[in-house]
Structure 1
């Protein structure tokens, strides 16, 4: 013997019948909060901001090393030009 029952109802009617709470207002509030946070964080997705966030120490170190090399080249060039004039 096989018995089958088909119930035709909306999710809201099924939730009420089973005594489950309506979580739609909470879900809507959470989705709005997530959307607000994502919109606020979109500004951090700009390439320049990402670059500064991810590589601040390495870039500064490279810049300092580049300045050091340029200063050494400038000293060498001034010594070479000063040495030829004497």
Structure 2
């Protein structure tokens, strides 16, 4: 025997029913901080000279970590095909 139950509720109601935490305040805080940082750096992105200067201040270790991260991402993408 097979039966289906459809429940019409919001995501917040479903989280409350299953006892999951309400993450909306934390999500709002993160989005607000990302928005603030994006606005603060908007002038840097518009000025190529400042943008490149910011990239060049990366230490050798930071650049190496960035290259490793990109290499890992490309390797993962190549394996999926």
TM superposition shift of 1:10: 1.3
**Is 1:15–2:8 an aligned residue pair?**
no
Partner of 1:59: none
**CA 1:44–1:17 in 2, change beyond 3 Å: closer, same or farther?**
same
Q: 1:6 aligns to what SS in structure 2?
A: coil
Pairs aligned (count): 54
How do residues 61-80 of structure 1 correspond to structure 2 at under 5 angstroms? Answer: none
Question: Paired residue for 1:44?
Answer: 44
Distance in 2 separating the partners of 1:17 and 1:38: 36
Query: Which ranges in structure 2 are unaligned for 5 or more consecutive residues?
Result: 57-81
Pairwise CA distance, 1:25: 0.6
Other structure's SS at 1:34 match: helix
Calculate the aligned-residue CA RMSD, in Å: 1.8
Q: Which structure is higher in RCO with an 8 Å CA cutoff and minimum separation 6?
A: 2
**Deviations 1:7-65 (CA, angstroms, capped at 9, x unpaired):** 111111111100011100100000000011111111212123235x168xxxxxxxxxx
Corresponding residue number in structure 1 for 2:24:
24
Corresponding residue for 2:60?
A: none
TM value normalised by structure 2 = 0.58
